Amino acid sequence: MPWLHDSRALARFRRALLAWYGRNARDLPWRRTTDPYAILVSEVLLQQTRVEQALGYYARFIEAFPDFASLARAPEEDVLRVWAGAGYYRRARNLHRLAQVVAEKGLPRSYEGLLRLPGIGPYTAAAVSSIAFGEPAAVVDGNVRRVLARLLAQADPKPGWLRETAQRLLSPEDPGRWNQAVMELGSLVCTPKVPTCGRCPVASFCAGRDDPESYPLPRKRAQRPVSAVALVLRGSKGYVLERRDGQALSGLWGFPFVEGEDGLRSLLDRYGVPRAEPLGTVEHAFTHKQLTIAVYEACWRGRGEDPSRRPLSALDRKILALARRAIGQDQGQRGVFGPDGA
Ligand code: SF4
């Protein structure tokens, strides 16, 4: 693309996009601060959460843990409870570990230094170092990938090409604002479906504008279907909950659960319960698998516990909602205890 190697054309391109960003940028709380902690929390949240949803989680998290020191001091269970609902809990655990490292050794101000912190990858290191410290480090996320692929008509942009091209386009005078401008263009104008090229500030530079949805080609991600069984054991004051382990849900709590269609027997044996009644099924997708969970319910001779006092995974909140609906409908007829001792 000739303009990419022409410094005056490149300057025009940057001016057009930054001027558009100045007029159209959404007013978001993490854009009103240069506090690296707040920027880091927002960037970690936004990796897998849409902006509209992230707003509430961000406000809650910053209120509970306003800085690295308060986050470092908090027990992991409190951190997970405040994060609850935002999903991908590994992000919260990594933030917690990172805060402990920063509380001890201080926060590095460079891209390379940030990259050495636990849970920080190239995207987050570039975002925080450019926005908070003005380092000329270009971000590459899904939005940037799409915008660049279309601008330069690349159907299958490779990671090395993306990094190099994003770095070439980056405005050296204002790298933090530039990075946000490219991502904002991808969020508001150069959207995955039906991009509004007629409103695009850089349409005259774009090689893909005649057929934007052909760039880039979709990436295939296989999700393996997996069956599982969950057991809702109702005690006098709540439910039986277990602490989860495994990479994705470690540190969270949930209902007794096993993968495999025939797992009910092993769950009943584990708790010495003779039988359980089916409540329904719950669907839940992880990155690489699509779970279909058959949920069963039985009475428990103990007290159980109040689920609102534990950090529950999104999957377990779905199970809880199903149980409350089913048990609520049945409660009048059977006179059973509800959750939370109700
Ligand atoms: Fe995206 Fe269309 Fe703008 Fe090209 S002209 S960058 S395809 S919105």
Q: Determine the Cα–Cα distance for residues 58 and 65; give it in Å rounded to an integer.
A: 10
Rounded to whole angstroms, how far apart are CA atoms 333 and 218? 52
Q: Which residues are paired to 289 by β-bridges? A: 224
Per-position b or e across 251-264, b if 16+ CB within 10 A of its CB? bbbbbbbbeeeebb
Amino acid at 266: S
Most distant CA pair in the chain, distance: 78
Spell out where the chain has E strands: 224-234, 242-243, 253-254, 257-259, 277-285, 289-299
Q: Give the bridge partners for 94, in sequence order.
A: none
Residue 137 DSSP SS3? coil
pLDDT of residue 247: 63
Measured on CA atoms in the order 251, 253, 258, 259, is the torsion positive or negative? negative
Give 229's strand partners.
258, 294
Write down the residue that tokens 């992230």 correspond to.
54
- CA of 211 relative to ligand 1 center, distance in Å: 9
**Catalytic annotation present for 43:** yes
User: How distant is the alpha carbon of residue 292 from its chain centre?
Assistant: 22
Sketch out the chain's domains with CATH numbers. 2-214 (1.10.340.30), 224-340 (3.90.79.10)
Give backbone dihedrals phi and psi of 140, rounded to 5 degrees, phi first. Answer: -130, 110
Judged by DSSP in three states, 226 sits in strand
Please tell me whether residue 73 adopts helix, strand or coil conformation.
Answer: helix
* pLDDT score recorded for residue 184: 97
Could you give the CA distance from residue 79 to residue 310 in angstroms, rounded to a whole number? 11
* pTM of the predicted model as reported, rounded to 2 decimal places: 0.71
Set 43, 135, 184, 297: catalytic member: 43
Cα of 214 vs centre of ligand 1, distance in Å, is 12
Print pLDDT tens along the chain (342 aa): 678 999 999 999 999 999 999 999 999 999 999 999 999 999 999 988 889 999 999 999 999 999 999 999 999 999 999 998 888 888 899 999 999 999 999 999 999 999 889 888 889 999 999 999 999 999 999 999 999 999 999 999 998 899 999 999 999 999 999 999 999 999 999 999 999 999 999 999 999 999 999 999 887 667 788 889 999 999 999 999 999 876 667 778 999 999 887 788 889 999 999 999 989 889 998 878 889 898 999 999 999 999 999 999 889 999 999 999 887 755 544 333 333 332
> What pLDDT was estimated at residue 331?
52
For ligand 1, atom 1, which residue shows the shortest CA distance? 190
Cα distance between residue 195 and residue 253, in whole Å: 41
Distance of CA 286 to the CA centre of its chain: 12
Ligand 1 pocket at CB < 6 A: 147, 150-151, 189-190, 195, 197, 200, 202-203, 206, 208-209, 212
